[in-house]
Amino acid sequence: MTTDYNKSRIDRRFAALKADGKKALVTFLTAGDPDYDTSLKIIKGLPEAGADVIEIGMPFTDPMADGPAIQASSLRALEAGQNTIKTLQMVREFRKTETDTPIVLMGYYNPIYIYGCDRFIKDALDAGVDGLIIVDLPPEEDDELCIPALAAGLNFIRLATPTTDDKRLPKVLTNTSGFVYYVSITGITGTATPDADIVGAAVNRLKNHTDLPVVVGFGVTTPEQAAAISAQADGVVVGTALVNALKRSLTKDNMGDATTVDSVLSLVRDLKQGIEHAT
Amino acid sequence: MSEKNLNSYKNGPDEQGRFGIFGGRFVAETLMPLILELEDAYEKAKKDPEFQAELDDLNEHYAGRPSPLYFAERLTEHFGGAKLYFKRDELNHTGSHKINNCLGQIQLARRMGKTRIIAETGAGQHGVAVATVAARFGLPCLVYMGATDIERQKPNVFRMKLLGAEIVPVTSGTGTLKDAMNEALRDWVAHVEDTFYIIGTAAGPHPYPAMVRDFQSIIGREAKQQMMLAEGRLPDSLVACIGGGSNAIGLFYEFLDDASVSIYGVEAAGHGIDTDKHAASLTGGKPGVLHGNRTYLLQDEDGQIEEAHSISAGLDYPGIGPEHSWLKETGRVNYVSATDSEALVAFQLCTKLEGIIPALEPSHALAYITHMAPKLPRDHIIIMNMCGRGDKDVFAVAEHLGVEM
């Protein structure tokens, strides 16, 4: 048994939730959408609104595993000048006032590869990042980023999917830490609604292979769904619904206004309430 | 002890699907079990004489192989230097080399019990070939095509529809080949049980680059035999255009270990390599990871993928097959380029002198030869892959030449 000092911020957060009998609300938003300042305000407001773990999307031109909403969100952020350096800067700003809520960067490999894996790991740790989810790095490609990141003290969170069978699961879980992200549908983000019973069975299957917390995402949009799905797992990830709420608040030319921050954070509050009522 | 020759350029990819540092399997977990299943099925099919026999039969009686090796006498006279041969893959059924790969992959899809075919297409040549084999074997077929490409390749769009394929216009991103590939991958992730994705070029996650190369390498095997009959020796040079690079690797592969053969891959330089409007990922890009593999990519300093540009929709892709990236780094193949306007000149020259209307894609290869051939001695033999016919490009060429049709 390791001491708390050796546990990551993510481990501590899930342990605390479990001790309180609570489920985690994991939020996803794209860094720099619709612009750096608005995006930073939203992220700074997330812990108070109820986010237990914050996933920040690193925008990429070709997000193959994402649906239209998150693709468009990535392009808005890039259009507004977001890049890897600025995303790390946002985390650094956030950490100036918030030291408890874990931050997970989620994205695709190429921008990190171009930034340089070693430099990225160092700068991410330095900024206060806790974990990484890199969609297009399966365990078959662990050498370059996953293993050095784990060694440096970052959590490397893996997606498990309905196509990951029992034979493959151990391989997927081998270099996974922090939590396991179960993708509830075969498909891209935000396009289908998962069935809570099927998800429950899948989470149980994962639990046979790992002691890590399991959170469920892809297709969870309403507080009711968040409640139903989180009841089957250790937490729930909401992304597309938040990105859609943000998008709805924008002006025609994709500019944020006074309502943007509130419209996202109020949905986070509703989601949190939904989950708390259920537990 | 491996049976493979340690000094061979033909050993790749390794078990991780790598050619040197290039290639690999950079895909989302949802797809991972599928590409492992595909690799397994392909490895078994490769060793099955029945699979090969079926494919040989289709190649001969359906696609019309072998394609001729043709001495381009008047172009040779015109250049006044090297002796030019065309490998006439534009004479294949559907009008390009794309059918070679599609027949192989649809046979594999059927063996695997897949009942739904998807594909991406740029110029529409691959889309037409996929729609054709899907029609032949009675499988439903969905082709993802960029909205921009649909506009500039209307004849092929209609051909695909006649063949029974459903065309899905892709408006995300820049609405070209790379976005069509993103959408096809998204479709595959959402329909993992019944769907086979026929990738059109020698790129994507392992095993696609190797599999597409294997199905296309019939081009080079035939060309070598035909050249021995015609001239009694190997050619001195090979030239092929490169978008994703499937026709080029198809011609080159058989000759990679023949040290006396110089090999040239011609990328699309669009408005010029020194402008921001080209599609030359090897000459103007750097290594990165996209669409499941590491390879040379057009990208900015943040690793965001940049738009490619070429007059030829078939070369308009910001990446390149990973084996080409490796062949560039090893120095075995010379990668060069030709601009839009050079390709247009070559297109017209070939049409007038040989009575062959080439596609705009191989017009790039010919454009490079117009610089290269005159400087070479008369006993220097070049084989160029005439990988597609130009009927589909007639409207686009007219527009570029300012001709009202």
Q: Which residues contact B312 (CB under 8 A, 6 or more apart)?
A: B123, B241, B243, B268, B343, B359, B360, B361, B363, B364, B393
pLDDT in tens, A148-162: 999 999 999 999 998
Is the CB of A36 inside 8 Å of chain B's CB atoms?
no
Positions of A annotated as catalytic residues are: 55, 66
Q: What is the pLDDT of residue A17?
A: 97
Task: Report the distance separating Cα A250 and Cα A264, nearest Å.
Answer: 11
Contact between residue A140 and residue B32 where contact means Cβ atoms under 8 Å apart: yes
pLDDT in tens, B83-124: 999 999 999 999 999 999 999 999 999 999 999 999 999 888
Cα dist. B231→B19, B82, B385 in Å?
33, 14, 17
Q: What is the pLDDT of residue B67?
A: 98
Task: Report the distance separating Cα B118 and Cα B73, nearest Å.
Answer: 41
Containing A269, the helix (H) or strand (E) segment is helix A258-278
Containing B399, the helix (H) or strand (E) segment is helix B394-400
Contact A136 B192 (CB under 8 A): no
Q: Phi and psi for A55 in degrees, rounded to 5? A: -100, 130
CA geometry: angle at B225 spanning B224 and B230, to 5°? 95
Task: Output the pTM of the full model.
Answer: 0.95
> Of B145, B64, B154, which is closest to residue B103 (Cα–Cα)?
B64
The residue whose two tokens read 């390009």 is B96
Task: Report the distance separating Cα B295 and Cα B23, nearest Å.
Answer: 6
Q: What is the pLDDT of residue B1?
A: 41
Q: Tell me how close the Cα of A275 comes to any Cα of chain B, in angstroms.
A: 27
pLDDT in tens, A187-226: 887 777 788 889 999 999 999 999 999 999 988 999 999 9
Residues in A closer than 8 angstroms to B182, CB to CB, are 62-64
Is the CB of A173 inside 8 Å of chain B's CB atoms?
no
Task: Report the distance separating Cα B35 and Cα B211, nearest Å.
Answer: 12
Q: Which residue of B has its CA nearest to A138?
A: B29
Residues in A closer than 8 angstroms to B294, CB to CB, are 113
**pLDDT confidence tier of residue A6, bands split at 50, 70 and 90:** low
Q: What is the pLDDT of residue B4?
A: 61
Task: Report the distance separating Cα A9 and Cα B29, nearest Å.
Answer: 25
Q: Which residue of B has its CA nearest to A81?
A: B302
Task: Report the distance separating Cα A208 and Cα A223, nearest Å.
Answer: 28
Q: What is the pLDDT of residue B2?
A: 45
Residues in A closer than 8 angstroms to B146, CB to CB, are none
Q: What is the pLDDT of residue A3?
A: 43
> Of B116, B119, B132, B103, which is closest to residue B199 (Cα–Cα)?
B119
Q: Which residue of A has its CA nearest to B307?
A: A61
**pLDDT confidence tier of residue A4, bands split at 50, 70 and 90:** low
Residues of chain B with pLDDT under 50: 1-2
B41: left (phi over 0), alpha (psi -120 to 50) or beta: alpha
**pLDDT confidence tier of residue A1, bands split at 50, 70 and 90:** very low
Q: B interface mutation test: which of A84, A186, A191 has the most B CBs within 10 A?
A: A186
**pLDDT confidence tier of residue A68, bands split at 50, 70 and 90:** confident
Task: Report the distance separating Cα B322 and Cα B331, nearest Å.
Answer: 14
CA geometry: angle at B187 spanning B29 and A224, to 5°? 75
Task: Report the distance separating Cα A123 and Cα A58, nearest Å.
Answer: 14
Residues in A closer than 8 angstroms to B303, CB to CB, are 60, 84, 110-115
Is the CB of A269 inside 8 Å of chain B's CB atoms?
no
Q: What is the pLDDT of residue B176?
A: 82
Q: Tell me how close the Cα of B178 comes to any Cα of chain A, in angstroms.
A: 8
A34: preceding bond cis by omega (within 30 degrees): yes
Q: Tell me how close the Cα of B303 comes to any Cα of chain A, in angstroms.
A: 4
Q: Which residue of A has its CA nearest to B26?
A: A136
- The number of beta carbons lying within 10 Å of the beta carbon of residue A263 is 19
Helix %, strand %, coil % of chain A (to 5) = 50, 15, 35
Q: Tell me how close the Cα of B127 comes to any Cα of chain A, in angstroms.
A: 21
Query: How many alpha carbons lie under 13 Å from residue A249 in its C-beta half-sphere?
Result: 24
Tokens of A120: 């990225």
Is the CB of B21 inside 8 Å of chain A's CB atoms?
no
In this prediction the ipTM stands at 0.94
